[in-house]
Amino acid sequence: MARRHTVSILIGLLTMGLALMPAAGRAEPEPISFRVLTYNTWGLPSPIGRHLQPRFERLAESLDGFDWMTLQETFSRHATPLKSLKGYPHQAWQSDSGAFKISSGLATFSRYPIIERDYAEFKTSTDMDRFSRKGVLFTRLQVRPDLIVDLYNTHYQAQDFPEAEGIRRLEDNQVMADLVKRHDKGYPTFLQGDFNCHDFESAYQDLMRRLPLHDLWAEARPGDPGYTVDAGRNPFSGNDHERIDYLFFKDHPHWQTQVDHIALALTAPVRGLFLSDHFGVQARIHLVPRLTGATRP
């Protein structure tokens, strides 16, 4: 009887131990860190654009150290030096023009392979934006054999008047949300670019409702205005002081971001010349599992 009781106890302990072991295929996801950038290059075609050739030559010398970058307003032919950037063999450009229109000006650069891409054009626009094919450029990045990241690069309708605000809220947000939902396979997702709106405006608030997003600057540096267009520091910025360029992370059940560092980028002149009328936004981001035992999507 004593031996049978001992065997029963051992079997019980073994069963409990097996139950506590992680199931096959449910290993803890490994954290990973990225350095990322979004930047409006102010590449409006000549004669509207100014100092295009020297600015883009200097910009090509200045872009390094990021795992991926989303650029906007690469309209000008002078942006071609960016295509030869060392360290960025994987690039996606939405450079198709249309009747009486220039391209979207969107370009995404990645150290990781781009395994899928798509583009959705905004159908409604006003003012000078009517002459550009603005929209959203989607790329899917194979970061590791076991990790894929989705990335959306965009440049929303410009200007401050009510019609433009309505287009950003009703048209641009809808196109963005539809594209994200169409490609959503549960991968960690980042939205980056020039959204041309302040965080107190209805377009921003509407986007946050449509796609539960984390505004990485606002969460990491609450109270810091983070002006990406700043007349006090950049002579090309006109009279404006505003934060309109964003790094967003879409809320995810299994992954979360921890921002190690986030700051404005490309804020100083290079050989006497500011590179754009915007500053960029750069961040070092840790992508970590949200829950112990969470499975990779």
Q: What is the pLDDT of residues 193-245, one digit of tens each?
A: 999 999 999 999 999 999 999 999 999 999 999 999 999 999 999 999 999 99
Q: How many C-beta atoms surround the C-beta of residue 2 within 10 A?
A: 6
Distance of CA 130 to the CA centre of its chain: 24
pLDDT value at position 27?
67
The domains of the chain are located at 31-289
Instruction: Report the pLDDT value the prediction gives residue 122, as an integer from 0 to 100.
Output: 97
pLDDT of residue 259: 98
Q: Does the pLDDT of residue 16 top 80, yes or no? A: no
pTM recorded for the entire structure: 0.89
| C-beta separation of 157 from 125 below 8 A | yes
Domain 31-289, CATH homologous superfamily name and number: Endonuclease/exonuclease/phosphatase (3.60.10.10)
Instruction: Look at residue 3 and tell me whether its pLDDT is greater than 90.
Output: no
> Could you tell me how many residues make up the chain?
297
| Each residue's pLDDT tens digit, 145-165 | 999 999 999 999 999 999 999
Please answer whether residues 37 and 282 qualify as being in contact, where contact means their C-beta atoms are separated by less than 8 angstroms: yes
Residue 9 has pLDDT above 60, yes or no: no
Q: Of 28-37, 109-118, 260-269, which gets the smallest average pLDDT?
A: 28-37
Q: Which two tokens stand for residue 76?
A: 């000008």
Residue 265 · residue 282 · CB < 8 Å: yes
**For helices 173-183 and 202-210, what crossing angle results, to 10°?**
20
Contact 217, 281 (CB under 8 A): yes
Contact between residue 283 and residue 262 where contact means Cβ atoms under 8 Å apart? yes
* Average pLDDT score, the chain: 90
**At residue 95, does pLDDT exceed 90?**
no
pLDDT of residue 26: 54
Segment 246-271 shows an average pLDDT of 97
Looking at the predicted structure, is the pLDDT value of residue 15 above 60?
Answer: no
Which two tokens mark 117? Answer: 């891409």
Judge residue 47's burial from the number of C-beta atoms within 10 Å of its C-beta, 0-12 exposed, 13-18 middle, 19 or more buried.
exposed
Q: Grade residue 14 by pLDDT with cuts at 50, 70 and 90.
A: very low
Count of C-beta atoms within a 10 Å radius of residue 149: 22
Identify the pLDDT of residue 271.
97
Secondary structure string (H, E, C) spanning the chain: CHHHHHHHHHHHHHHHHHHHCCCCCCCCCCCEEEEEEEEECCCCCCCCCCCHHHHHHHHHHHCCCCCEEEEECCCCHHHHHHHHCCCCCEEEEECCCECCEECCCEEEEECCCEEEEEEEECCCCCHHHHHECCEEEEEEEEEECCEEEEEEEEECCCCCCHHHHHHHHHHHHHHHHHHHHHHCCCCCEEEEEECCCCCCCHHHHHHHHHCCEEEHHHHHCCCCCCCCEECCCCHHHCCCEECCEEEEEECCCCEEEEEEEEEEECCCCECCECCCCCCEEEEEEEEEECCCCCCCC
